[in-house]
Amino acid sequence: MGIHATAVISPEAEIAPEAEIGPYCVITGPVRIGAHTVIDAHARIGSTYGAVSIGERNYIQGGASLGGPPQDLGYASGFRGRLEIGDDNRIGEFVTISLGTEKGGGVTRIGHRNLLMAYVHVGHDCEISDEVILTNTCQLAGHVVVEDRALVSGHTGVAQFCRLGTCSFLVAGSFANKDIPPYTIAEGYWATLRATNKVGLKRAGLEAAERANVDRAVRLLLDRGSTVVEAIARIRNECAPTPRIDRLVEFLKTSKKGIARR
């Protein structure tokens, strides 16, 4: 454990004694790194554009660049954004994550126990919740929200301000420009809803009866003969009321980008 002799560390950085900084890393500006976090060789953390906070027990692999300036032409150069990363994340080779912008609230957030595979990009002001998987070369534009246990496959793109709901699954090679509701599978260019993410629900620990209840709700949503408002009414009338049904309905009601049904 410790800091390799070839690493370049900002005097503003706060690094826990139990953290490990590998060869040729560059840590710039106000960066905080928690205990037992390991940063592989040639990673770049922080910049002169803002502050980065990284929690405990993270593994950041070689070539990652975390906390660089937002890729946004409207970014005000005087504003200092933040990047906040929680605990127990694995961030793969050459992942890039941008700082937040003033118009987006100022913070890009990564939660806990997430897996970001090689070459993933997370744009400014994104919010990644917990236990999310972003597969190789997944690209998230600014202001994207990814909820708990979502899985975003490889070679995918998500347009700005989209939301991917809890336990949703975006199929490889897809591009999303609308919201993907919880518990669903979406596919295509542009992505549309195809089915219930039954495997994801089982992995999340739902009992068979609850999985069947959620599946019925998603099937009602998939009925393109009805509007989203009509689908919500049918879900309320025909599905057992549970917190997961409430979450689905709330997601549908609060969508600003529209639901990816067609």
Amino acid at 162: C
For residue 124, indicate whether it is catalytic.
yes
| Catalytic residue (one of 40, 125, 148, 179) | 125
Q: State the DSSP string of 95-115.
A: -EEEPP-GGGTSEEEE-SS-E
**Are 58 and 83 in contact, with CB atoms under 8 Å apart?**
no
The structure tokens listed for 193 are: 């809803």
Phi-psi region of 237 (alpha: psi -120 to 50; beta: other; left: phi over 0): alpha
> In the chain, which ranges are continuous DSSP H helix?
198-203, 208-222, 228-238, 243-253
Which residue shows structure tokens 């070689």? Answer: 62
For residue 154, indicate whether it is catalytic.
no
Give φ, ψ of 178 to 5 degrees: -135, 175
End-to-end Cα, the chain, rounded Å? 52
Please choose, from the candidates 89, 96, 27, the residue with its C-alpha nearest in 3D space to the C-alpha of residue 64.
96
For residue 125, indicate whether it is catalytic.
yes
CA distances from 171 to 123, 127, 130, 153, 201 (A): 20, 20, 19, 5, 16
| Catalytic residue (one of 42, 121, 124, 143) | 124
Cα torsion 145, 149, 155, 156: sign: negative
CA angle 102, 103, 107 (to 5 degrees): 55
| Catalytic residue (one of 50, 142, 157, 200) | 142
Catalytic residues: 124-125, 142
